[in-house]
Each structure stands twice: as C-alpha cells, then as structure tokens.
Chain A
C-alpha cells in the first residue's frame, strides 16, 4: 500500500509543467504560465520546487565526501533527492533543513547493503536459489535487475573469499544471516504474504517510508523533524524550539548523573545547544563513522517510542518534548554518556572554547560498545529525569535564554536548577579527591616541590586538573578490561547491521559496574556532607580509606576490591550492611567479595529503614541534599535490582578489577603515605559496604571504628610532624574537622544502635 502511495505522491508532487503543457489535460493558461505571480499556479509551484531542489542538491553533492563511491553515484543521489523533495513538499512547515539528508542517507545505505548482500548470496548459492524458490517468476522479476551501485569491496571479499560456492542441501545449513536474507527475498516463502520484502525495485519506496517514520516519529515522541523546527513543540508549554528544550534536557540529565561536570560546564558557559544541536539533528551522524552510526541507530530504534504519560496530569502538560519516550531517553542518555566520555578532559579545560572544541570533535577511537552500554545503563535514569522534572527544566531554560541576550548575567546562576545549586557546594569534590590522590602519589615520587605549589590554589589549579585527568586515564585499563571481557560476545550481534540487536542482556555487568561507579563517588560525597560540616578540607581525606592499623599490602588489594564491593552495595539499593572491617581483616580469604555479599531478600524493606534512619541522622546537616541523593540511588537500585541474575558476571568484573594493577597502584600510592588522617568520610564509605549486619551491629562497629580512629589521632601528631610542611597544613586542618566529623558519627552510631 505504501508503495502505491509513494508512487502516487511522487507523481502528484514532483511535477514537470512542461510535460503537463503537452499533455491531454489543458491547463488554465491565464493562471498556469511561467510569468504568473499566483503562488498556487503550476509554475509557481514549479519554481518553488526548483528552489528547494537547488538547496537539496547543494547538500547532496556534499554528502559523505568520504563515502563518495556509493553516495555520489547518480542512482543514489537521484533517490535521495526525490525522497527528500517529496518529504519536504509534504511537510512545508519544516521545508528542507540541512542535516535532513544525513538522516535519510544511512537508511538508504542500510537497504542498499542488504540488497547488495542478497545479490552476493544469490551469486554464491545460485543453484540453491533455484532449488528452494519457485524460480520462474522470481527470475523474471528481480534477478534480472542490475545494480547501479559499485559494490563495496568488503562485501565482495566476504563473499568471494570465505564463501566459495558450496553445495548446500537445505536452507537450514545456511548461516542464519543469509537465511534471513533469502527468506526476505522469497516471494513465496514464509514471508510470502508480504511479498518480496527485500527488493531493489522498492528500495526507494522503502527508504521513503523509513525516513518518513523517522522524521514524524509515527505518533511517538521522538520525531526527528522537530529538531529542525524553529517553533515550539506541539504540546509543549515552553516557548523554546524543541532542539533547545532537548539540549536543556541533556544538561538536566547530566546534572543528575554528574553534577560536578555539569556545574563545571555551566560555570564556563558551555551552552549545550552548541554541540547538542548537531548531535541531535543528525542523530549523532556527524560524531561517528557510518558503520558505527548504524550500530547506534539500531540501539536507538530498538527502544519504544511511545510517549510517556505522566500520571496525574493531562496530555498537554506532561509533554516535555521530543525526548519524552523510552527512545528519547536513550538518546539523551547516549548524549550524556558521550559527554561523560570526555569527562576528564573537559574538567581539565579551563575555558569554554576548548570544552566546545572537545565536544565538537568527538574522538574517533572511543569504545562504542562501552559507550552504548553506558547509555543504556543511564536510560532508566533519563526516563525519570525526562518524565518527572519538567518544571525543573523550565526555569533553567528561561534563564539560559536571558543569559543569551543580557550579557551581564552570569550564566551559571541562571542555568542552575535548584537541585544543582544544592550540589554546587560539592562540585570540587572530584577534583579534591583526585588531587589528594595525586598529591600523595607525587610525594611518593619525591617531587614535593610541585605538591607544595598546589596547596594555595588547589581549588582551581590548572595543573591539578591535568593530573586529575591523568589519573583517570590510569584507571581506565581497569574499566576497559571488564568491557573487553564482554566484547567478544557482542561482536556477533554488532555485525548484524539491520537486525534489532539488543546488547542489553549481554553486557549488563559492565553497565552496572560503570554507572554504579559513578554514583559511588557521589555516595561518599553525600556521606561526607552528612558527617562533616566543613567538608572542604575533609573531603581531601576521603581517599584514605584504610586505617593505619591495617597492613598496607592488604589494603592495596582491598582498595581494588572495595570499589567493587561498594558497587555492590549501590546495586543492592545501597543500603545493606556488610561490615567493612571483617572484610578487611581477612582479605586473602575472600577473593570475591561478591560471594560474601549475598543480597538479603528483604532489601527493599531495609532500604526503607535505612533510608529513613539516615535521613533522621543527617537531618542535622544538609538534609535535603542527602535525600535528593538517596532518591537517585533508590532509582538506580530499583533499576539494577531487576537484573539480579547478572551477579555472577559482576563477580568476574571483580576479578578483573583486582587484577587491574594500574588501579591498585593509584590507590596504593595513597596509602603508603597518607593514611594518617582517616576521617569520618572513610567511615561513611564503610557504611556503604555494609551488606550483612543488622543496623545495630552497624552502629556497634561504628563505635568501635570511631574509637580506633580517635586513638590513631591521638598517637598521630608525631608522625605527622615528620611529613612535609604543606601536608601538615592540610592534615592539621583536616584533623580538626575530622574530629568534628567523628562527633557526628558518634551521634549517628548511637542512633543506629538504639534501633
């Protein structure tokens, strides 16, 4: 039916007045002449089409200069052109906008590739084809069709090299992929009722349908056309074009996932639409090579595009824009994971231009699967963000707009949502953390001089960010190792260009490991704020996880493991209580923390309890922030809990993590020097590890820990004196605040044991 419609539309809209003039129907010469000023006249339309055509052509001739061998062929250009013209004529509101052609081209390419493959398969299994297929009509129709396009070398190789003609007796012996292709091209096969699904004759029709669906979203939220629209989205109650709205939504999501990076970008004045415009309009087409793009699109299109309806509001109000569906959420999540991919280099950058330069020149050598996995892990969060907080986006948007016009505004103030304002206090947390790690590492290497320099301007010091960046890179092997493990499994799926590949079930372990890792840090951030009021100094102590009582060697192992363990706690709604101490005491006996950390069946209950307890306890300080954070983790937990069967996989990661020597080095170096000032924060993180013990046990052990720490503090002054001066300064201050933090912790532990 669509085929017919396409043909009809084509006839109707792509007119040639010359033809009509000579035709049988006599046009009204008064109206339909080339000089007519009437915009509705045949010629008026013709001239408008000509203008449109010129615009389209101008872009098409510049389409994928690097893939010219296919896209620049007359056949391909002609199809692209007709489809685009037709779509634009049917949607005069949008008209043609640059970038539309790059949404269409990949679709056509996929169809072309499939056909290409089909023809190759036919060549190879020619006998076979005539056997299984009622050959007569088939030969007449399709086989005689020749391709206009040059064959892609890799496909030639594929088919000529590896699959030299082999006699095959039944369809079942073929590779599944080839089977599908054969079936889809078989008019009388299983797909017979649909006719020939794969057919070169209908390539253009198919491409048009797909393009139309992509642009209009087939009733769903993500309608790519909206990204080209200058006017507000249909049901939107904001005054901003969808592209701006969506860009803001990306930043909103980023602020939830990584508030420090978000505030860094906002502070520098890096507005999201500068890069998001391109990312979204061509659906990441400019940032990735075509082959990679198809993988990304497969993922995106595999998600539902049905609009979310927020309960309690009517349709119009719940509509927060183009990203308001599962698919939209994935798009947002993917964009955010792209930003996160650049995290360290963005944080190391001190001006907006350089940040934008990085964002607009996305590295080509990224691990795409990892990126996708991350995006999928963030998708649920994105759903929440998009679904639940339209009101948060609006004031920010408004602010941004103002900032655009009145220079005097400080964008960071305008742009920050209430939630992020709360987080602002901790924006330096990450930097602090890494700075400390690296100060100590550096000290170890004897370069005390430069470490000293950092103390005065450590908040914004350029060099420390650099170091920060380096450190992140160092840690990377540990992550990628885990990824690599899963990669092979997914490779198969990846090759399947057209199919609906769902990586979701294959690599969840990696997903969790990554995203939980991210949240983890914020967990301790939260804890930190609850424990120690003036945490500017204290946060520097966070890295000192171990108490000096423990052997350093053990700790090196532990630190690797503990990060996994803490991942786990986050996974179990981050509530459950394993006492960190016993774990630490016999590290060698528990190579897999996972095995000890059996999830309680009543995790949900305990979460609730814990949640409220912590809330009470922390009520003294920063209550709101904390609860905000917990809601976040709650979401995470809920999301992740669904996939409990992946636990085994995660334990693999734990091993990988243990063996990731780089990671251990980084952590290790911090121990060698700097475990003098264990603070309340480490305790806070310890809470995080807890999974087994009951709450009162927790309180008990906290008390013990506090005592240990206090005793250490009392012995410590001598030891501290032996260190460098600059260190002394920090530790001195840290000491005081740490003591204060201990006081707080005492209160908390009392509360806990009373329960």
Chain B
C-alpha cells in the first residue's frame, strides 16, 4: 500500500502525544475535532485508541501520533505502557466540572511523574468545553496558576466549536521542537517506530521503494 510507505518520507519529525484526564472531559472529542474537524458525540473510549495527524508547524512537516486513553483506565495496569516514549502529554479537564480539575493535581500529575519515561517531556494543561461558558466552574485564572505550578503550557479550548483546538497541538509541537533532546527523538523515531526503539537490523527500506 502506497500510503504507509509514502508516510515514512512525508514528514520531517514524528512525535508521540498522550491525552490524559478524567472520563468524560472530552479527550476523544478534542482529538477527533483536531483530526477530522468533526464534532460528533462519541462513545467512551475503552482501553486506548490513537490517531495520526500530519500537519505543518514552523516550516516542519510533523507526524503526530496522538494516544487517546480511557479516563477510567488510570486505575489499571496498562497505563505505564501508554506513557512510554511520549514527547508530549496533554492533561485535559472539563471547565464545567471541578472534580476533573482537582483530579489533575491529585491523580494525573502523579501518574505522569510516575510513568513518564521522558524527563524533558512537554506537558500541557487544557481546559475543555469553554463553549458552555454559563456552566463554567473552573476559572481561567485557576487554570493558569495550576499550569504554572506544574510548569506546563496552558490553554482553554472547546472541542465542539473547535476553538483553540488546532492551536493547542500546534503550541505543544512547537514547544517540543524547542527541546533538543525531544527534537532528536522525533527525528530518529520517524525512521524507526514509535513504540519501540527498534534494533537496527535492517537498512531502511525507504531508499529502494520510493523510486
């Protein structure tokens, strides 16, 4: 199939991004909104799912592999493997539900600390569902101060209206590219694969098949 082979050469950098946060905050919606511009209702994620998006930021063609985890899965055994090798982690909460916000510091930040294998990994705090302004219970200021505390990026967005959705991933990608170690990972990973640091047992096939 042509596309997979083409895909290999079609981007300069490849990053793994992880979406975490409580169940129902809109991680999948955020992702779908980013990938396909659609704003459908979605069934809850079970286990893990992921999407791949190719887009251009700062003159570089990027391939983002975005892992979308089930919010409830944090109790579970598999999570550690999701974190493996991620260059960016997006912590999502719902601005209309305070518990999802407090859980970020109570639960999710600890998870990241525990499982993230990448010291330099870029984190981003995202408050979702700002289209429901009337129901908002977590203010922007609170969000910003928490982001400062974690030392991570901050953005409010709405998967439904697509407000700030693109920007969220763009900023994250730009930030990742600023970090030399991550940049290097991203450029080598493209030649290999994302899940695993594959042993260099065979020459990259790209040269022979693209003629």
A interface with B by C-beta (< 8 Å)? 55, 58-59, 62-65, 97-99, 102, 230, 240-241, 244, 268-271, 273-275, 277-278, 281-282, 286, 345, 348-354, 356-357, 360, 404-405, 407, 410-411, 453-454, 456-457, 459-463, 466, 469
- Asked if residues A98 and B196 are in contact (CB atoms below 8 Å), the reply is no
- Asked if residues A461 and B65 are in contact (CB atoms below 8 Å), the reply is no
- Asked if residues A462 and B72 are in contact (CB atoms below 8 Å), the reply is no
A213 to B50, CA, bound (A): 33
Also in contact, A281 and B46, with CB within 8 A (given A58-B23, A353-B193, A466-B1): yes
B: number of interface residues (CB 8 Å): 48
- Asked if residues B41 and A62 are in contact (CB atoms below 8 Å), the reply is yes
- Asked if residues A461 and B72 are in contact (CB atoms below 8 Å), the reply is no
Rank and list the top 3 A-B pairs by shortest CB-CB distance, nearest first: A269-B196, A351-B193, A277-B47
- Asked if residues A466 and B195 are in contact (CB atoms below 8 Å), the reply is no
The yes or no answer to B179 lying at the interface (CB within 8 A) is no
A460 to B200, CA, bound (A): 12
Also in contact, A59 and B44, with CB within 8 A (given A277-B78, A453-B208): yes
How far in angstroms is the closest Cβ of chain A from B94? 11
The interface bits of chain B over 1-34 (1 if a CB of A lies within 8 angstroms of the residue's CB, else 0) are 1101101100000000000000110000000000
Partner of A277, one of B42, B48, B203: B48
How far in angstroms is the closest Cβ of chain A from B182? 16
B interface with A by C-beta (< 8 Å)? 1-2, 4-5, 7-8, 23-24, 40-50, 52, 65, 70-72, 75-78, 80-81, 84-85, 117, 192-199, 202-203, 205-206, 208-209, 211
Nearest residue, chain B, Cβ from A240? B77
Contacts of A275 in B (CB 8 A): 47
- Asked if residues B47 and A274 are in contact (CB atoms below 8 Å), the reply is yes
A428 to B77, CA, bound (A): 34
- Asked if residues B43 and A55 are in contact (CB atoms below 8 Å), the reply is no
- Asked if residues B196 and A97 are in contact (CB atoms below 8 Å), the reply is no
How far in angstroms is the closest Cβ of chain A from B147? 26
Partner of B209, one of A58, A268, A410, A461: A461
Contacts of A55 in B (CB 8 A): 23, 72
A-B contact count (CB 8 A): 137
Contacts of B50 in A (CB 8 A): 353, 356-357, 360
- Asked if residues B195 and A62 are in contact (CB atoms below 8 Å), the reply is no
- Asked if residues B23 and A457 are in contact (CB atoms below 8 Å), the reply is no
- Asked if residues B4 and A98 are in contact (CB atoms below 8 Å), the reply is no
Contacts of A99 in B (CB 8 A): 44, 46
- Asked if residues A58 and B196 are in contact (CB atoms below 8 Å), the reply is no
Also in contact, A62 and B199, with CB within 8 A (given A350-B205, A353-B50, A353-B194): no
How far in angstroms is the closest Cβ of chain B from A382? 22
- Asked if residues A286 and B4 are in contact (CB atoms below 8 Å), the reply is no
A240 to B78, CA, bound (A): 11
A55 to B192, CA, bound (A): 40
- Asked if residues A345 and B193 are in contact (CB atoms below 8 Å), the reply is no
Contacts of B76 in A (CB 8 A): 230, 241
Partner of A353, one of B48, B65, B117: B65
Also in contact, A348 and B75, with CB within 8 A (given A269-B198, A407-B84): no
Partner of B47, one of A281, A348, A410: A281
A63 to B2, CA, bound (A): 36
Nearest residue, chain B, Cβ from A270? B195
Partner of A286, one of B23, B46, B75, B211: B46
- Asked if residues B5 and A466 are in contact (CB atoms below 8 Å), the reply is yes
